[in-house]
Chains A and B, each alone.
Chain A
Amino acid sequence: MLRSFSPLPRPRTFLTRHRLSTTSIRHELTPQHAIYVSNSINPYFNLSLEDWLFRHKDHHEPLLFLYRNSPCVVIGRNQNPWKEVNMTALKARRIPFIRRRSGGGTVYHDLGNTNYSIHLPRSSFDRHATAELVRRAINTLGIDVRVNDRNDICVGYEKVSGSAYKIVSQRAYHHGTMLISTRLDTLGALLKADKETMVTKGVDSVRSPVCNLRQFGSSINHETFINAVIEEFRKEYRVEEPIQWVNDGEGVEDIEYVRNGMVELPGWDWAFGQTPEFTYTILPKFEWGEVTIEIRSKHGIILEAKIGSGDSGTQEKMKTLGRRLEDQKYGFVDADVVRDVIEQDNRCRDVWEALLSAMVSYRYEP
Chain B
Amino acid sequence: MLNLPRRPLQLLRGWPGRGSLFHSSPIAWASLKVLQKFKLADIGEGITECEVIKWNVKPEGVVQAFDQLCEVQSDKASVEITSPFDGIVKELLVQEGEVAKVGQGLCLIEVDEESLDSNSKEFTEPAQPEQEAVQSKVFETPSQPSLGHLEKALQLRKRRPHPLDPNHPPNAATILNSFSKNVLAKPAVRHMARELGVDLNRLSPGSGRDGRIEKGDLERYLSGGTKDSSVSSMKQPQESGDVVVELGRTRYGMWKAMEKSLEIPHFGYSTTLDITDLHSLLPRLNACIPPHYLSAPPPSPYTAVNPSSVYPVPSPPSVLPSRQFTKLTYLPMFLKTLSKAMTEWPLFRSSITLRPSTDSQSKPALTVRPHSDISIALSTPTGLYTPTIQCADTHTIFSLAAELKHLSHLGRQMPCGLTPAEMPKKGGTITVSNVGAIGAGDFASPILVPGGGVAIVALGRAKWVWDVDRGDGKGERRLKIGVSWTADHRVVEGAELAAFVECWRSWVETPERLIGEAV
A361–chain B nearest beta-carbon distance, Å: 21
- CB within 8 Å for A165 and B96 given contacts A103-B73, A276-B53: no
Residues in chain B near residue A169, CB distance under 8 A: 66, 80-82
Residues in chain B near residue A125, CB distance under 8 A: 44
In angstroms, Cα B75 to Cα A78, docked, is: 10
Number of B residues, CB within 8 Å of A: 20
- CB within 8 Å for A203 and B80 given contacts A78-B53, A167-B43: no
Main secondary structure of the interface of B (DSSP, over half): strand
Q: Is the CB of A168 within 8 A of B79?
A: yes
Q: Is the CB of A167 within 8 A of B75?
A: no
**Interface flag for B182 (CB, 8 Å):** no
A244–chain B nearest beta-carbon distance, Å: 26
**Interface flag for A363 (CB, 8 Å):** no
In angstroms, Cα B73 to Cα A203, docked, is: 8
B311–chain A nearest beta-carbon distance, Å: 41
In angstroms, Cα B54 to Cα A77, docked, is: 11
Which of chain B's residues 8-57 have a Cβ closer than 8 Å to chain A? Answer: 43-45, 51, 53-54
Residues in chain A near residue B96, CB distance under 8 A: 276
**Interface flag for A201 (CB, 8 Å):** yes
In angstroms, Cα B71 to Cα A78, docked, is: 10
Residues in chain A near residue B71, CB distance under 8 A: 77
**Interface flag for A179 (CB, 8 Å):** no
**Interface flag for B74 (CB, 8 Å):** yes
Residues in chain B near residue A201, CB distance under 8 A: 51, 97
Main secondary structure of the interface of A (DSSP, over half): loop
Residues in chain A near residue B75, CB distance under 8 A: 103-104, 150, 203
B482–chain A nearest beta-carbon distance, Å: 56
- CB within 8 Å for A78 and B51 given contacts A167-B43, A201-B97, A276-B96: yes
Which of chain B's residues 63-87 have a Cβ closer than 8 Å to chain A? Answer: 66, 71, 73-82
B359–chain A nearest beta-carbon distance, Å: 24
Q: Is the CB of A276 within 8 A of B77?
A: no
Q: Is the CB of B76 within 8 A of A103?
A: yes
**Interface flag for A94 (CB, 8 Å):** no
B95–chain A nearest beta-carbon distance, Å: 10
A206 — nearest CB in chain B belongs to which residue?
Answer: B75
Residues in chain A near residue B97, CB distance under 8 A: 201, 276-277
- CB within 8 Å for A78 and B78 given contacts A127-B45, A201-B97: yes
In angstroms, Cα B97 to Cα A201, docked, is: 6
Residues in chain B near residue A203, CB distance under 8 A: 51, 73, 75
B83 — nearest CB in chain A belongs to which residue?
Answer: A169
A271–chain B nearest beta-carbon distance, Å: 15
In angstroms, Cα B76 to Cα A150, docked, is: 9
Residues in chain A near residue B44, CB distance under 8 A: 125
Residues in chain A near residue B77, CB distance under 8 A: 102-104, 164-167
**Interface flag for A81 (CB, 8 Å):** no
Residues in chain B near residue A113, CB distance under 8 A: none
B-contact 0/1 string along A236-268, CB 8 Å cutoff: 000000000000000000000000000000000
Chain A residues within 8 Å of B, Cβ to Cβ = 76-78, 101-105, 125-127, 150-151, 163-169, 201-203, 274, 276-277
A-B contact list, 29 entries, CB within 8 Å: A76-B78, A78-B73, A102-B76, A102-B78, A103-B73, A103-B77, A103-B78, A104-B77, A105-B76, A127-B45, A150-B76, A151-B76, A163-B76, A164-B76, A164-B78, A165-B77, A166-B80, A167-B77, A167-B78, A167-B80, A168-B79, A168-B82, A169-B80, A201-B97, A202-B53, A202-B73, A274-B54, A276-B97, A277-B97
Chain B residues within 8 Å of A, Cβ to Cβ = 43-45, 51, 53-54, 66, 71, 73-82, 96-97
Task: List 8 tightest A-B contacts by C-beta distance, closest first.
Answer: A103-B78, A104-B76, A165-B77, A167-B79, A168-B80, A201-B97, A77-B78, A169-B82
